[in-house]
């Protein structure tokens, strides 16, 4: 059985890809890099650590206390001794800056289009989603008829995969665009203007999700001829959204994401 030191050693494994978790789509079930991602591994390790018995010689673990819910409270005394008067900015300054950034994000054209997409996609899921999910189940249990071009199981898998992708991405797209816009606010120091920016990385993830969503909606439009008009409206919003993101972040598609776009690992792109 592993002790706490063994688990922490695992978390510091050299095969981890630094920053791979910053520009992923958080779809861990389909990610080829889960066990090279420290965030994913740490999430699994935390449960293992909670289940371990206490050790008298823990090498520093006893310095952290836990409340009844298991939340760690390190160096509590040091935080209590901190003098808030030593802070460079007042809480009013921080609050004002936060409100300024929030207002800029909320009024950004790409964010507004992302919100429109969320509403239209949610309306479509509410009206069509449950019916299609039932159809997937029916196709899964339908015996093959031996008719050329008809394979119920394959059809069910394709339909289910596209529904899952759209439901996974439609909210995430807005979140990634909001992060990109908020990261882009403010002046960039001259020495680092040409360096890769976090905003471009977040925008790239949003663009990839938009591209995949467009493909999925087009497939559904061909599959569901009756819902073609509603899906076409959604596709038009996604098209405008993609144009807005590319206009705000012209270098986003060239951004190199750790792991997904780096040499030797690009064959496992997400």
* Alpha-carbon torsion angle 70, 8, 41, 69, nearest 10: 0
- pLDDT the model gives residue 197: 87
| Residue 42 vs residue 202, higher pLDDT | 202
pLDDT averaged over the chain?
A: 76
**CA–CA separation, 117 and 131 (whole Å):** 21
Domains identified in the chain, total number: 2
Query: 29 and 106 in one domain?
Result: no
Q: Which two tokens stand for residue 262?
A: 């780096």
Give the end of a domain, one of 82, 113, 130: 82
- pLDDT the model gives residue 199: 94
CB 1 within 8 A of CB 8: no
- pLDDT the model gives residue 55: 52
Q: In 3D, which of 154, 170, 162 has the Cα closest to residue 133?
A: 162
Q: What percent of the chain has pLDDT over 90?
A: 33
* 148-187 per-position pLDDT tens digit: 445 555 667 788 888 999 999 999 999 999 999 998 886 5
Name the residue range of residue 104's domain.
91-268
- pLDDT the model gives residue 53: 59
Query: 249 and 165 in one domain?
Result: yes
CB 255 within 8 A of CB 196: yes
**CA–CA separation, 206 and 247 (whole Å):** 13
Give the pTM.
Answer: 0.71
Query: 98 and 18 in one domain?
Result: no
* 242-261 per-position pLDDT tens digit: 999 999 999 999 999 999 99
* 137-149 per-position pLDDT tens digit: 555 555 555 444 4
Give the end of a domain, one of 31, 50, 82: 82
Query: 262 and 135 in one domain?
Result: yes
Q: Could you tell me the pLDDT band of residue 202, with boundaries at 50, 70 and 90?
A: very high
Please tell me the least confidently modeled range out of 97-101, 209-213, 264-268.
264-268
Give the end of a domain, one of 82, 107, 122: 82
């Amino acid at each position: 059985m592993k002790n706490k030191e063994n688990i922490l050693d695992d978390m510091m494994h050299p095969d981890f890809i630094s920053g791979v978790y910053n520009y992923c789509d958080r779809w861990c079930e389909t990610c080829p890099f889960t066990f090279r991602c420290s965030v994913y591994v740490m999430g699994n390790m935390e449960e293992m650590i909670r289940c371990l018995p206490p050790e008298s010689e823990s090498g520093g673990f006893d310095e952290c206390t836990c409340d009844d819910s298991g939340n760690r409270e390190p160096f509590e005394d040091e935080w209590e001794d901190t003098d808030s008067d030593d802070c460079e900015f007042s809480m009013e300054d921080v609050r004002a800056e936060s409100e300024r950034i929030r207002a800029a994000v909320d009024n950004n054209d790409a964010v507004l289009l992302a919100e429109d997409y969320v509403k239209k996609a949610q309306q479509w899921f509410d009206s069509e989603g449950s019916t299609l999910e039932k159809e997937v189940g029916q196709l899964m249990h339908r015996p093959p008829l031996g008719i050329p071009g008809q394979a119920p199981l394959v059809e069910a898998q394709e339909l289910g995969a596209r529904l899952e992708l759209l439901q996974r991405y439609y909210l995430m797209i807005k979140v990634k665009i909001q992060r990109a816009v908020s990261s882009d606010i403010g002046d960039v120091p001259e020495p680092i203007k040409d360096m890769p920016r976090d905003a471009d990385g977040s925008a790239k993830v949003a663009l990839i999700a938009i591209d995949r969503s467009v493909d999925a909606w087009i497939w559904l439009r061909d599959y569901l001829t009756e819902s073609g008009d509603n899906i076409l409206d959604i596709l038009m919003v996604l098209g405008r959204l993609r144009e807005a993101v590319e206009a705000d972040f012209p270098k986003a598609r060239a951004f190199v994401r750790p792991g997904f776009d780096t040499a030797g690992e690009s064959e496992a792109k997400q």
